[in-house]
Amino acid sequence: MLCSAHQAWPIAAPQRYAPMADNETTSHSRLIERVAANQDRHAFMLLFAFFGPRVKGFMMRSGASDAYAEELAQETLLTVWRKAQTFDASRASASTWIFTIARNLRIDGLRREKLAANAQAQLDVLDLDVERPDQTLNSVERAERLRAALSGLSPDQLDLVRLSFFEDKPHPEIAKALNIPLGTVKSRLRRSMMLLREILEDLK
Amino acid sequence: MTIRHHPDIATLGSFGFGTLDKARAFVVAAHVTSCAKCKAMVRGFEETGGVVLEDLEPAPLSMGAGEAMLDMVLHGADADRRTAEPRLAEVDLRTVLSTFDEGPWRWLGPGVHYKPLTTAPAGEARLFLLKAEPGTSLPEHTHSGTELTLILRGAFSHSGGRFGPGDLEEADSSVEHQPVVDDGDVCICLVAMDGQLRLTGFMGRLLQPFVRL
């Protein structure tokens, strides 16, 4: 099912944190593995059709213009194509892996001009080898549990999580924009992260 | 190396979501590199990111985006376009350590030297190395902004506890402390700081005009 390239992608907004079909989340991993194994372009275009618009949405929510967000989405998927061999389904789900690519591009892309060249030169990218001997759930099961936990949050709590997820302005700027004290921004961010920590610790 | 002091959960989360500024991210990455507990927590935030990404409302792509994408991967068009490493940015401490030998240490106060690693615009966190001689007692101080300090070598203590290699300390204007470096070894720290140090003791107020980090 290769989507036509001649039309915009007609994808409806998904239900928020609706449980995803098991085969859908595992199939994203399989698609990446097919790209890795034999540069399967059909598999790749399916990944592009699903993740392209979402990564673009992620970039726009983070402050990128429509055109630039699309460029960053392309670069994210281009990275998926080129680095597919380094994907390890036993260590990360497809969406976690693609999120880290998008996140790193967002860091580079949205703040490039602000970077001190010196620090950039010294930021070396190494492999994150997380060992979790006590972990009994695989990455897909963890993602499903996480999704279920997030769906149980109140709208206020979800807002908190979103604030911490998309906001890459320095805290004083958020405080100014929302007209609330700096300490309030910090304590709200902290609350949302603590909430997430509880959820994550329950996954073990 | 026993790590006792870790980044605040909010700092760790911002790092995992990629919303932490560069200087702080550098210091946190250096800590996470050697702390299994924080590494696992960061991975958890990344997993959260993956789930949020999957459920995000898609932004429609422009006409022909798929074709352009296919063309890009099949024909290697734009081969020099940047791609991102799909892994957590970690710090090669050896690279940081190698800078010890480059450039001069600058005098900051009795027994204390520093070496800037970045020149950040005003208002943004700066990254520098701090070196204090064994037994040095730093002036009592607080901060107008926030400060992340990763201990690379040696140790110091203050009212908040003892900090050794791998430990990360977070301080802001609510923290007033007077670190004392352990006897026996020089203490070297990697610091990300915005705002300025504010010296608070009597001697400190005398010295304040000279402190320009």
CATH code of the domain covering residue B104: 2.60.120.10
- How sure is the predictor about A77, in pLDDT bands with cuts at 50, 70 and 90? very high
At A17-52, the pLDDT tens digits run 455 555 566 699 999 999 999 999 999 999 999 999
Task: Report yes or no on B104 lying in a domain.
Answer: yes
Determine, for residues B86 and A106 on separate chains, whether the beta-carbon distance falls below 8 Å: no
CA nearest to B13 within chain A: A193
Residue pairs between chains A and B whose CB atoms are closer than 8 Å: 284
State the nearest Cα–Cα gap between B24 and chain A, in angstroms.
11
> What residues of A are in contact with residue B22 (Cβ under 8 Å)?
107, 111, 114-116, 119-120, 123
Q: What range does the domain containing B192 cover?
A: 93-210
* Mean pLDDT (chain A, rounded): 74
- How sure is the predictor about A199, in pLDDT bands with cuts at 50, 70 and 90? confident
Q: What is the pLDDT of residue B173?
A: 76
State the nearest Cα–Cα gap between A87 and chain B, in angstroms.
9
Determine, for residues B87 and A128 on separate chains, whether the beta-carbon distance falls below 8 Å: yes
State the nearest Cα–Cα gap between B54 and chain A, in angstroms.
7
Task: Report yes or no on B114 lying in a domain.
Answer: yes
Q: What is the pLDDT of residue B87?
A: 47
State the nearest Cα–Cα gap between B196 and chain A, in angstroms.
15
Q: Which residue in A3, A105, A170 is closest to B84 by CB distance?
A: A105
Closest CA to B73 of A1, A110, A35, A196: A35
Task: Report yes or no on B161 lying in a domain.
Answer: yes
Task: Report yes or no on B97 lying in a domain.
Answer: yes
Pairing of strands B156-158, B161-163: antiparallel
Determine, for residues B61 and A53 on separate chains, whether the beta-carbon distance falls below 8 Å: yes
What average pLDDT score do residues A173-197 get? 79
Q: What is the pLDDT of residue A1?
A: 38
Name the segment(s) of chain A with CATH classification 1.10.1740.10.
21-127
Determine, for residues B65 and A125 on separate chains, whether the beta-carbon distance falls below 8 Å: no
Fold assignment, A21-127: Rna Polymerase Sigma Factor; Chain: A (1.10.1740)
State the nearest Cα–Cα gap between A69 and chain B, in angstroms.
9
Name the segment(s) of chain A with CATH classification 1.10.10.
152-204
CA nearest to B11 within chain A: A190
> What residues of B are in contact with residue A132 (Cβ under 8 Å)?
40
At B72, give phi and psi (nearest 5°). Answer: -65, -45
Task: Report yes or no on B53 lying in a domain.
Answer: no
Determine, for residues B92 and A6 on separate chains, whether the beta-carbon distance falls below 8 Å: no
Tell me the two tokens of residue A102.
């998008």
Structural domains in chain B (count): 1
Report in angstroms the alpha-carbon separations of B158 from A114, B147, B180, B213: 35, 15, 6, 21
Q: Which residue in A5, A166, A170 is closest to B66 by CB distance?
A: A5
Task: Report yes or no on B142 lying in a domain.
Answer: yes
Angle at A83 between CA A81 and CA A85, to 5 degrees: 105
Residue B65 reports pLDDT greater than 90: yes
What CATH number matches the domain at A152-204, 2.40.50, 3.55.50, 3.30.70, 1.10.10? 1.10.10
- How sure is the predictor about A131, in pLDDT bands with cuts at 50, 70 and 90? very low
Residue A134 reports pLDDT greater than 90: no
Quote the distance between the C-alpha of residue A51 and its chain's center: 10
Task: Report yes or no on B62 lying in a domain.
Answer: no
Of chain A, the end-to-end C-alpha distance in Å amounts to 37
Residue B198 reports pLDDT greater than 80: no
- How sure is the predictor about B156, in pLDDT bands with cuts at 50, 70 and 90? very high
* DSSP one-letter string for B69-96: HHHHHHS-TTTTS----SS-B---HHHH
Q: Which residue in B48, B58, B67 is closest to A57 by CB distance?
A: B58
Task: Report yes or no on B154 lying in a domain.
Answer: yes
